[in-house]
Amino acid sequence: MGMIIVDAARNSTTYFWGERTSTIDWCEENYVVSNYIAEFWNSITNSIFVALALLGMHTTIKHRQGKRIFACYAALMFVGCGSVSFHATLKYTTQLLDELPMLYLCGLVIYALVEINKETRYGIKAPLILIAMQAAITAIYVFWIQSPVFHQVAFALTAFGGVGCGLKRLKEMQLSNRTKRILGRLHLLGHVGMWGGFLVWNLDNVFCHRLRSYRAHVGTPLDVFLQLHGWWHILTAYGSTYLLLWVHFIRLARLGHDHLFTIKYRLGFLPYIAMKTPKKID
């Protein structure tokens, strides 16, 4: 399902990162904007992952909301950083840094939902099982089935597993109408971001040659709006963040603190969980 576009002239050793070794090359023309960044727009659009993740990490520290939720936001930042390194270099090693953290993020989300209470229930068993599963998928992908399709299927199944765990937790709790509205909105926006991103990702793959022609026709700066893989990054960054906020708010509801919190936006476009009162909780 990934694109391999042969940009022979722009994959030569004359460019900063040399010849492409990744198994995937996306629709953005290589080394057009900068001789030091292979896919410029595909690289910088990942900054939204980092911004949203840092805001979530700050929230969990400020309100002392647990290492498990903090780890999920940290993993989201790692996803963005790995994607930057991949699109900037188009090397196989950095491709793994782009792809594998997505799986690990989903694994952390599942763990945060399984061990949703303040005190852990399953001890060392739950993390060991999840680590073993992630390690098995990683080993199969790196040493056996080195196909992006395998990674995409494994990621999708793990992501659906995380959503399923969240829905199961919701059925176990009695929620106020306000909390139901907040969770419903977060869940909806998360899926809109993820499925919207998946749509433009496929459009970028299927209609790449046409998009390249259109970009050449409209020229700079309008061509940036036709960099659909970059829009995939933006949409999935928001989709992932809204789903993490959904998980975060589920845990607040489980601990009985949901009435103290709401969703706010920093700078008008960066969503985060904020307290309705200045009081901090343990």
Q: What is the mean pLDDT of residues 136-144?
A: 92
Tokens standing for residue 183: 């969770």
In a domain, 80, yes or no: yes
Is position 229 annotated in a ligand binding site? Answer: yes
Is position 39 annotated in a ligand binding site? Answer: yes
Q: What is the mean pLDDT of residues 129-135?
A: 93
pLDDT given at position 282: 41
Using H for helix, E for strand and C for coil, what is the string for the chain? Answer: CCCECCCHHHCCCCCCCCCCCCCCECCCCCCCCCCCCCCHHHHHCCHHHHHHHHHHHHHHHHCCCCHHHHHHHHHHHHHHHHHHHHHHHCCHHHHHHHHHHHHHHHHHHHHHHHCCCCCCCCCCHHHHHHHHHHHHHHHHHHHCCCCHHHHHHHHHHHHHHHHHHHHHHHHCCCCCHHHHHHHHHHHHHHHHHHHHHHHHHHHHHHCHHHHHHHHHHHCCCHHHHHCHHHHHHHHHHHHHHHHHHHHHHHHHHHCCCHHHEEEEEECCCEEEEEECCCCCCC
Provide the domain limits for residue 244. 8-275
In a domain, 207, yes or no: yes
Q: What is the mean pLDDT of residues 143-166?
A: 90
Evaluate if residue 280 carries a pLDDT over 60: no
Is position 7 annotated in a ligand binding site? Answer: no
Q: What is the mean pLDDT of residues 40-45?
A: 97
In a domain, 114, yes or no: yes
How large a percentage of the chain has pLDDT more than 90?
Answer: 77
pLDDT given at position 247: 96
Evaluate if residue 136 carries a pLDDT over 50: yes
pLDDT given at position 43: 97
Evaluate if residue 6 carries a pLDDT over 60: no
Is position 258 annotated in a ligand binding site? Answer: no
pLDDT given at position 177: 96
pLDDT given at position 281: 44
**Higher-confidence residue: 242 or 29?**
242
Q: Give the CATH number for residue 56.
A: 1.20.1070
Is position 172 annotated in a ligand binding site? Answer: no
Is position 233 annotated in a ligand binding site? Answer: yes
Is position 209 annotated in a ligand binding site? Answer: no
Q: State the chain's mean pLDDT as an integer.
A: 91
In a domain, 2, yes or no: no
- Dihedral sign of CA atoms 254, 59, 234, 7 in order: negative
* The total number of structural domains that make up the chain: 1
Q: What is the mean pLDDT of residues 89-96?
A: 94
In a domain, 280, yes or no: no
- The pLDDT tens digits for 232-270 are 999 999 999 999 999 999 999 999 999 999 999 999 999
Q: What is the mean pLDDT of residues 63-83?
A: 94
In a domain, 1, yes or no: no
Is position 25 annotated in a ligand binding site? Answer: yes
Evaluate if residue 279 carries a pLDDT over 60: no
- The pLDDT tens digits for 178-227 are 999 999 999 999 999 999 999 999 999 999 999 999 999 999 889 999 99
In a domain, 127, yes or no: yes
In a domain, 248, yes or no: yes
Whole-structure pTM value: 0.91
